[in-house]
Structure formats: structure tokens, C-alpha cells
Chains A and B, each alone.
Chain A
């Protein structure tokens, strides 16, 4: 997933779309918006971005899961099987992005990149509703995909790369 921080206006539409699509319990969220202000007045720099699970290549949550409930499916998406999860919280502790939470039903829940929608050939709910079209979703292994092309052309960053997780959500600068 690629997110253009220059286009994001921080409207939270992606958050609401996710909560509606995935029936996220009230008070919880699988994605969220952060606003970062850098510098001192009058030279201030504002960055808005939508954050979520980074579906890391070297996912610590998958590594530390004692039951194998957290796993990586084909294509690199990190998922949790609710019926295998014991709710120990190890994956929550292991996530440098704090992207996971304990669902009120007990199991651990997080962003799935709307895996159920992808199977039908649709885009994740957050991407499909974004009014400024600042989010892009696609196959990073395919050099001709929109996301690969964007990463070729534009400057980008990932969140907390120093945590060594090889995150797969890229932010265009």
C-alpha cells in the first residue's frame, strides 16, 4: 500500500469506511490518522497520514505468536485466525506500530487490507473511499503496477524502519 502524504487532508473517511466495512466495535479502530507538526513558528511543516498495520515482511507478531494464529498469506498480508488466537497479547507487545488490539470477543484483531474484498477483486475499503485518492493499493512484486511505479518516481518513507520489520506501507513525501 502506498499513501501520498501530500494529498491526504486527514478527513478520517478511511477510518469510518474501515469501521463500517469490517464491523469494528465502537471505540476501536484498525486504521487511524496522525497529524505531525515539525519546526517552530512561522516555519512549520504539517504532515497528515493514514496509518494501519504495515503487513511487515519480517513480521514480529507472526514470529512471537505461540499458536500460529498470526500468519502471512500469499501476497504478504498478515492475518489473524480468531479461532486459533488465545488472546495472550504477545503480538500486541511485539508490534512497533501498535496496530493490533484485543477485540471485545477476546481474540486479537487488526487491519486485513480487507482481504475479503481483495478476493472479490475489489480494493480495500479505506482505499476505495478516499476523497483525495491519496491511497494506492497493488502488487509491489509487479514492476508495472501503479504502486511500484509511484515508488520509482517519488520520494517515500516507511514508519520506524529502525525496528527492522520491513514494513509494506509506504508514505510518499
Chain B
């Protein structure tokens, strides 16, 4: 038997009895960041493939979401900082070893590009809104600016592909770089979060699309991504159980511990397996409520971020 206790009355807010320094804004950002990265990735890829007419929701319509998602995500990140007025210090240095430094810089580049991407499709996708607001009539220089952006859209797309991949992986690496939190310290978290981000993006495109063919196509992509994600999760669980004691204990939080229901019911069953079945049935030509499948994927992705962030902080080496 071994029992360890603090006798000096250690009771530091947010650390004892269990660490809780990162709250809901971080989980929310990880979700929104992954979603935005996925949407921009699909937009850039299908634009470069010349499929913007075939898949308008992926390239054009969905373009309105990334800037909003990234803005909310960034606000959430800053909201969770405790020394907010010093946020600019992030941009005084580039620290190769720090995932957060990578993320901060990538976000600084991706966020403006996402706004430019939306702007270049604004008049095409939202002619009614423009008729009401008359932005282009009031600000004349926007016309030439829009022309310039549309002409150079190709370069934006080329830049977006590597940047969004970094952004998508970063949401996982941010957690996996901490070896002090055994549940996070797993290299598979990067690819897993990227896959999950792409999957939620495909689900969003399904929700926004009005073309049957496009829905069908992204249903297939989403199904493939869900299968990859399930395989990665299976690998993650196996990896932990084959690992040292701290990692086995960490995984027991998700399997048998207090996060079991959240993880299995909301993430695995509702977030992955049921949408996969619905999408599979749809591929075989039966009518299924694809919108429900897509919403479930989004919900599962969000809950997954919350589970990983909250459960990961409980796991530790000492005490």
C-alpha cells in the first residue's frame, strides 16, 4: 500500500486536487480550428482540381465558415489566457520547439487568407446580401482588389494546402507534446485530430450542399475519413494499453473510468459508427437522413475535443 498526501495545505486553484488550467475555450478552439482547416483544405484542393463548379458548396459556399470559426476560436484562445494584455508577446519570437508558437504563427497567416478566400466569393455566392449592403458601390477600391484576389486565387489555394494541414495536425500536436500528461503524450493524436477535422469539414459541406451529387461525393469522403479515424482510435487505445503504467491508467479514464460514457456513447457510437452506417446505406442508393449523420459527426468531433482536453489534464505522473 502506498499513500501520499500534502501536509503543507497545498491547494492551488486550478491545480489541486486536479489540474484544470485549460478550460472549455481550448476544446472549442481545437474543434473550430480543425473544422476551419478541413474546410479550407477541401476548398483549396477542389479549386485547384478545377471542380469549383461541380462542388460549389465545398469551394464557394462553405468559404464563409472558416473566417467565422477561426475568429471565434482565436477569441476563445485569448479568453483562456490569464495574461491577456501580453498576447502580442507571441509574435515577438518564433520558437521551433513550442507547438503553440507554431500554431500562433500559422493562425496569423491562415486567418487573413481565409478572409480573402471568402471575400473573393462574396459577390458570387451572396448577390442578395450585396444588393442590400452595396459595399462594392460605396467602397470603389474593393472592385479592383476583388479582381486582384480572384486572379491570384490559385496562389492562395497553393498556400492553403500545406498551411491547413499544419493547422489541422497542430490541434493534436498541441496536446501530444506534453509528456507530463500521459493521455495526451501520443504521436497519433496529430493525425487523429487532423482526420477528425477533415471529417467534420466534410460533414459541414454535406449540410451546406444543395446538389445531390456533391452530397453523395462528400458522404463517401466522410465515410472513408470515419473509417480511418476509427482505425486511429483503435491504434491509440492499443498503444496506451501496451505502454507504461501511467499510460494504462490514463486510458482507463476513457475505458471504465469517468469519461467512458462520453467517449463511447457520444464519440464512438453517435459520432462515428452511426454516421458511418447512415452514409454507407446512402451510398448503396437508399434514402437516409444524411443531415442527421453530418450533425452527429460534428457533435462527435466537438465532444471528442472536450473529452481529450478534460481527461488529459487529470492524468499525471505524481500524486
Interface residues of A (CB under 8 A from B): 10, 12, 15, 27-29, 31-40, 48, 60, 63-69, 82-90, 92-98, 101-102, 105-107, 159-160, 162-164
Contact = CB atoms under 8 A, between A and B. Distances in A.
10 contacts: A28-B12, A34-B6, A37-B3, A64-B99, A66-B95, A66-B98, A67-B101, A86-B83, A87-B82, A163-B179
Contacts of A163: 179-180, 317
Nearest to A47: B4
Contact of B104 (A60, A66, A87): A66
A163 B315 CA distance: 13
Given A66-B90, A162-B244, A38 B21 contact: no
Contacts of A31: 8
Given A67-B90, A92-B15, A160 B317 contact: yes
A63 to B, nearest CB: 5
Nearest to B245: A162
B2 A37 contact: yes
B180 A60 contact: yes
B15 A98 contact: yes
Nearest to B18: A98
A17 to B, nearest CB: 12
A83 B100 contact: no
B108 to A, nearest CB: 12
The B contact surface, by secondary structure, is loop
Interface string B69-108: 0000000000011111111011011010111110010000
Interface residues of B, number: 50
Contacts of B85: 106
B318 A159 contact: yes
Given A87-B81, A160-B318, A93 B100 contact: no
Nearest to B14: A102
Ranked nearest first, the 10 interchain pairs of A and B with the lowest CB-CB distance are: A87-B82, A87-B83, A106-B83, A89-B21, A66-B100, A96-B180, A66-B101, A33-B8, A32-B10, A160-B317
Given A83-B86, A89-B21, A90-B98, A10 B181 contact: no
Given A32-B6, A101-B14, A163-B180, 9 more contacts: A28-B12, A48-B7, A64-B97, A66-B98, A67-B89, A93-B181, A96-B317, A98-B15, A101-B15
Given A28-B12, A35-B5, A89 B22 contact: yes
B313 interface: yes
B1 interface: yes
B82 A65 contact: no
Contacts of B181: 93
Contacts of B19: 92-93, 98
B319 interface: yes
Contact of B98 (A12, A39, A64, A159): A64
Contacts of A105: 83
Given A37-B2, A86-B81, A92 B21 contact: yes
B91 to A, nearest CB: 9
A94 to B, nearest CB: 5
B90 A33 contact: no
A164 B83 contact: no
Contacts of B10: 29, 32
A92 B100 CA distance: 13
With most chain B CB atoms within 10 A of its CB, the pick from A60, A63, A89, A159 is A89
Contacts of B244: 162
